[in-house]
Amino acid sequence: MAETLTRRTALGRLGAVGVAVATGALHMPAPAGAQGASPTMGLQESVQDGLKRVFGGRPMKDGSALIKLDIPPIAENGAVVPVNVEVTGAMTPASYVKTIWIVADKNRIPIVAKATLTPEAGQAFVGANIRLGETTDVRAVIEQSDGTLWTAKREVKVTVGGCGG
């Protein structure tokens, strides 16, 4: 049965979208994130909004025993901060780490990178060089193939910020 689009339902949907993007849009007169290939990445928002937008309030378990977050505790140059995320446990087609998100709490673009893995990787490990604007917590959020979310975080002291603009 085709759904009829009444004014009421249309407004309701617009409202839901509006709530999701409103906070980002306030800081974002230019659609800085909209130009990218992936519209869910690169938005300027607060970290709470970002996590809510990406994970929709799903419960996250404390994975500090599971996730090894390898970051220098003091980064002299925030423009290049090497981050390595390693998750213990084997990657089998039945149970593997599907996605690893790297989140820098105080960056203007807090959702820094998203890595999608397949069981062929053999081990849940990714590394990337990221920018940090100031001293901040850096989190890794992993999603397993069954949908469970785990998170771990670590503070990084930044002497010279690297995000500029």
Contacts with other proteins, residue ranges (CB under 8 A): 28-33, 35-38, 41-42, 44, 79-82, 84, 91, 104, 107-118, 120-131, 162-165
12 or 39, CB closer to other proteins?
A: 39
CA dihedral 80, 84, 85, 86 (to 10 degrees): 180
Q: Which residue has the tokens 């996605």?
A: 99
Q: How far is the CB of 16 from other proteins (least distance, A)?
A: 24
Q: How far is the CB of 99 from other proteins (least distance, A)?
A: 10
48 or 118, CB closer to other proteins?
A: 118
Q: How far is the CB of 75 from other proteins (least distance, A)?
A: 11
CA dihedral 97, 40, 69, 56 (to 10 degrees): -70
Q: How far is the CB of 5 from other proteins (least distance, A)?
A: 32
Instruction: Give me the residues paired with residue 60 across strands.
Output: 149
**Residues 124 and 96 sit within 8 Å (Cβ to Cβ):** yes
Tokens of 70: 């390898």
For 66, residues 6+ apart whose C-beta sits below 8 A from its C-beta are 87, 88, 89, 142, 150, 152
Please choose, from the candidates 80, 104, 79, 99, the residue with its C-alpha nearest in 3D space to the C-alpha of residue 154: 104
Please give the Cα distance from 123 to 126 (Å, whole number).
Answer: 9
Q: How far is the CB of 12 from other proteins (least distance, A)?
A: 30
55 or 125, CB closer to other proteins?
A: 125
21 or 113, CB closer to other proteins?
A: 113
18 or 31, CB closer to other proteins?
A: 31
